[in-house]
Amino acid sequence: MLFSSQVTAAEVVIAVAANFTNTTRQIAPLFEKASGHTTRISYGSTGKLYSQIEHGAPFEVFLAADTQRPIKAEAEGLAVPGSRFIYARGKLALWSKTTGLFDSGEDYLKSGNFKHLATGNAKTAPYGLAARQVMTHLGLFSRLEPKLVRGESIAQTFQFVATGNAKAGFVAYSQIKSWRGESGSTWEIPLHYYTPIDQAAVLLKKGESNPAAHAFLAFLKSEAARKKIRELGYGVE
């Protein structure tokens, strides 16, 4: 298989967007078993991770929650040209851990019958930008903005809702799929309400000579990885 390696096992250092945390935690052991390589993974908002890459962080592979930062990494000479590809398409949802809180997510948002609404920071979290686009599409952004509680990453945003600090919030659908508590209330937001959340992976310059970095990206394209990505609430091309 392409992701298998006949060379000495190596470690790959990976930067992963927060929304893809649980998926990566399930994919990484599959990769390690198939390849013999090991992984060291850091999670965070795409914007924060990219800032770390710009400042010399030792990451060798970057799994962003958008396409803009990987494109920028190539343009700035931080990534290997031609290595970028879409590994997942994210889906946005409105979620509350309270079952029966809403039947219609749109009606719930329009009612404004809540103190806080969690969302990602639109400047650092692509899912936060998508949430802002949804509110703008519905003509609600200016009315809801005073109620917004912003997480620096979609992982922090999900925690605001899961802990009850916000009654509901805009989260990644994949996070709901991985939630082990009560199913709660979910509105899977129509895809045409926001710009597609295409998530791109890219080989960073620091990983150009590391066979484990090449192997991980190849594994990410494999059917074993793609199956897991689909199971956990993403679209794949």
82, 96: one domain: no
83 lies in a domain?
Answer: yes
183, 216: one domain: no
Q: How far apart are CA 19 and CA 90, in angstroms?
A: 9
Look up the pTM and report it.
0.83
CA 39 to chain CA centroid, nearest Å: 18
Q: How is residue 98 written in tokens?
A: 């309270």
24, 70: one domain: yes
Residue 93 and residue 169 in contact, taking contact as beta carbons nearer than 8 Å: no
102, 73: one domain: no
Secondary structure (3-state) at 160 = helix
What does the pLDDT look like over 6-45, one tens digit per residue?
457 999 999 999 999 999 999 999 999 999 999 999 999 9
> Could you list the residue range(s) of the whole structural domain that residue 207 is in?
11-89+197-231
146, 221: one domain: no
Strand partners, 187: 94
227 lies in a domain?
Answer: yes
144 lies in a domain?
Answer: yes
> In the predicted model, what is the mean pLDDT of the chain?
94
160 lies in a domain?
Answer: yes
Q: How is residue 3 written in tokens?
A: 């992701």
Q: How far apart are CA 133 and CA 184, in angstroms?
A: 24
Residue 218 has pLDDT above 90, yes or no: yes
Question: Could you give the number of structural domains in the chain?
Answer: 2
User: 1 falls in which pLDDT band (50, 70, 90)?
Assistant: very low
Residue 3 has pLDDT above 60, yes or no: no
In terms of Cα–Cα distance, which of 143, 160, 171, 164 is closest to 65? 171
Q: What is the pLDDT of residue 81?
A: 97
Q: What is the pLDDT of residue 19?
A: 92
What does the pLDDT look like over 121-145, one tens digit per residue?
999 889 999 999 999 999 999 999 9
Q: How is residue 120 written in tokens?
A: 């990602």
Q: How is residue 18 written in tokens?
A: 């927060």
121 lies in a domain?
Answer: yes
What does the pLDDT look like over 71-84, one tens digit per residue?
999 999 999 999 99
Q: How far apart are CA 168 and CA 162, in angstroms?
A: 9
**CATH, residue 84:** 3.40.190.10
5 lies in a domain?
Answer: no
